[in-house]
Structure 1
Amino acid sequence: MPEASDQPPMPTDAGILEFLRLSDSFYPPDAVSASVAQQRIWYDALCAGFDRPLPEGMTTDDALVGAVPTRRYRPARVRANAKLLYIHGGGFVLGSLDSHHAICAELAEFAGAELISVGYRLAPEHVWPAQTDDAFTVLKLMLGEGARVVLIGDSAGGNVAAGLTLRARDEGLSGIIGQALIYPGLGGDLVSGSYHEMAQAPGLSTADVSYYRAVLKAPADEPVAHPLLARSVAGLPPAYITVAHFDPLRDDGRLYAGRLAAAGIEVWFREEPQMVHAWLRARHMSDGARDGFQALCLAVSRLAGSL
């Protein structure tokens, strides 16, 4: 196997390069070497720097589901026959109801669907399975109320979303009609494929992924925490999986899409050739990210029945 280059692989998309420059000004590339408290300060500033106003007529409501904070987004015109459940990224260590506020709002607006975002507990204060338990609490309430649900998650949230579909299937819960996984981490081996090729990718390195896994403390043999380990993916809902080319997590999404397709699950897979991890935040400054977000919104809309 060739040695990983000391020079990080870089896209050429001008908007993404500017996005990386701005992101580094808020959240330094070596952030994981700082305390968790400092990481959260930097990350919150980053998220606020990319925030945008709510779409016209959209309302939001914060509420507790048990002890789990949630935020409900309701567009001025609801036309979908399903609800969206969004689980945010941040390596299980960072993020909140505020960190993905504009992203959730724009997804809900495009799909014409109510969306509920989950403010799950974070590591290291709360190790696995706190994150999946919190999201599952909200999911069970939605399903218990008769909702048809599309699960959406980015990065660590994509991991939680994929794990929830396995958990719901194994517990005999019905009503999840789709899943949209955005550059998800699904438990790849950290040494081969994109973990090697993109080990020094801008925005997220393989060492960063290893750090977040160590902080989470999920059992290494647990499929809900590492969906690529699932013995069977039969019976899972249709999926849209999007990955970034310049991302160590890229092949997790590729491999999972392949497994779903081989099991006869309807799956749409899209690799963004110029994108880096966390490109969702660049959707208003990069043509490639804008196209990727449009494709995501269309897929979510189809899964939710609003197209």
Structure 2
Amino acid sequence: MTTDYSVLIDEETWAFIERTNSFYPPDAVNLSVEQQRDVYNTMCRAFFAGYPESVSSADRFIDARDRKIPIRIYEKRDSDPEAVCLYFHGGGFVVGGLDSHDDVCAEFCEATGFRIISVDYRLAPEHLHPAAFRDCLAAFEYVASTSDLPLVLCGDSAGGNLAAAVSHHVRLHDRAPIGQVLIYPGLGGAADQGSYLTHAEAPMLTTRDTLYYANLRGGGFNWSTDPRFAPLNATDFSGLPDTIIISAECDPLSDDGRHYRDKILAAGGKAIWNNEPGLVHAYLRARHSVERARASFRRITAAVHLLGQGRWPGQL
């Protein structure tokens, strides 16, 4: 099944795709994990947009039982935060860290005035599932025990998966999140149907890529029935926080967002799914160069802001 991306994707977005691809060598499929990280980090540095003048950050560590988890805390100067947003970065559970999404988190802070806490969770394949989940859960427990502010979870791609998994796990907690915003999340949908077929060869992320990352994260074991690994395959969607999912139309993961919304609504919860027309996976890095991505980023920050204030946007 083929999709005509020359019609769906505009010139600005193609320029973003081409710039991103320019960092990857022709034999990128054969790169080692360490080489993948080097390329990804180089690319992220090239796209780095700096901090808004009003925002500063500080690096800290969370003391977990057997490890220290690095975090980066963003604050807007001369502003008392109304809420905390715990942010989990994307990168297929294999690449990324505090620096890869540094400017994104700083701009979230500027747009919302919230305290943003980015989590440097452990990566595969050195640390297999559920290591990343456990680090993100520890970050939630840290915030829950050190702050009385309302909490919103947010993440992109792999980070959206982790946010949904943590939300599910802590929904009965006294300090459960009041909202979650998932940005083009991969939630464990079936790879042989829907958008996994229609967008199997999408620019920026293919269905084959999603299977590669899932296999690497799971160490070859089938974790698909574990909601910490595949939140979409949980058996109970009741009690989840108010949820906004933002997907990209030209992305094999787009149906994961739709199905997740539908399951929350069927369980009596509140959820909105936006499928951003003509956009591709990882378009957060295009927010300064692509008008569609810029508009979507405004919707995303508005969603985080409203949920953190205990308000429901109705639509985005």
Q: Determine if the TM-score, normalized by the shorter chain, exceeds 0.5.
A: yes
Q: How many angstroms apart in 2 are the aligned matches of 1:80 and 1:29?
A: 46
Distance 1:284 1:24 in 2: 18
Corresponding residue SS for 1:296: helix
Question: What RMSD in Å do the two structures reach over aligned CA positions?
Answer: 1.7
| SS of residue paired to 1:270 | strand
1:52 CA drift (Å): 1.2
**In structure 1, what is the equivalent of residue 314 of structure 2?**
none
Match among 235, 247, 250 for residue 251 of structure 2: 247
Question: Cα gap change, 1:165/1:306 in structure 2, threshold over 3 Å: closer, same or farther?
Answer: closer
Of 50, 54, 57, the residue aligned with 2:54 is 57
Q: Secondary structure at the match of 1:26?
A: coil
The answer (yes or no) to whether the contact 1:56–1:76 under 8 Å persists in 2 is no
1:159 to 1:49, Cα distance in 2 relative to 1, 3 A: same
Instruction: Return the offset for 1:120.
Output: 0.5
Q: 2:30 aligns with which of 30, 33, 38?
A: 33
Which range is displaced more, 55-64 or 150-159? 55-64
Post-superposition Cα deviations, 1:103-155, rounded to whole Å, max 9, x if no partner, equal 10101110011100000010000000110101111110111123321000000
Q: Is 1:190 the counterpart of 2:191 in the alignment?
A: yes
Q: Does the 8 A contact of 1:244 with 1:275 survive in 2?
A: yes
When residues 175 and 223 of structure 1 are mapped into structure 2, their CA distance, relative to the original with a 3 A threshold, is: closer
Larger RCO: 1 or 2 (CA < 8 Å, sep 6+): 1
Partner residue, 1:148 = 150
| Rounded Cα–Cα distance in structure 2 between residues aligned with 1:133 and 1:273 | 34
Picking from 228, 231, 244, the partner of 1:227 is 231
Aligned match of 2:167: 165
Question: Is the alpha carbon distance of 1:293 and 1:204 closer, same or farther for their aligned partners in structure 2, counting shifts above 3 Å?
Answer: same
Deviates more, 1:216-225 or 1:91-100: 216-225
- In the other structure, the counterpart of 2:294 is 290
Judged with a 3 Å threshold, the aligned counterparts in structure 2 of structure 1 residues 116 and 195 are, in CA distance, closer, same or farther, namely same
Structure 2 runs not aligned, ≥5 long: 312-316
Is 1:256 aligned to 2:257, yes or no? no
Task: Give the conservation status (yes or no) of the 8 Å contact 1:8–1:202.
Answer: no
Q: CA 1:243 to 1:148, structure 2 compared with 1: closer, same or farther past 3 Å?
A: same
Cα distance in 2 for residues equivalent to 1:157 and 1:29: 28
Note closer, same or farther for the CA distance 1:112–1:77 as it changes in structure 2 (3 Å cut).
Answer: farther
Task: Name the residue aligned to 1:279.
Answer: 283
The 8 Å contact of residues 60 and 74 in structure 1, kept in 2 or not, is answered as yes
Alpha-carbon distance change, 220 to 63 in structure 1, aligned in 2, over 3 angstroms: same
Distance 2:134 2:94 in 1: 16
Return the alpha-carbon distance in structure 2 between the equivalents of residues 87 and 154 of structure 1: 7
In structure 2, relative to structure 1, the CA distance for the partners of 1:242 and 1:30 (3 Å cut) is farther
- 1:137 equivalent to 2:127? Answer no
Higher deviation after alignment, 192-201 or 10-19: 10-19
CA deviations on 1:264-303 (whole Å, 9 max, x unpaired) are 2121221111100001110111111011001101111101
Partners of 2:254 and 2:49 lie apart in 1 by: 28
Asked if structure 2 preserves the Cα contact closer than 8 Å seen for 1:32 and 1:208, the reply is: no
**1:32 Cα deviation from its structure 2 partner:** 4.1
SS class of match (1:236) = coil
- Cα distance between partner residues in 2 of 1:183 and 1:247: 8
Count how many residue pairs are aligned between Structure 1 and Structure 2: 302
Looking at structure 1, the residues matched to 106 and 186 of structure 2 have their Cα atoms a distance apart, in angstroms, of: 23
**Structure 2 length as normaliser, TM-score?**
0.92
TM-score in terms of structure 1 length: 0.94
> What secondary structure sits across from 1:158 in the alignment?
helix
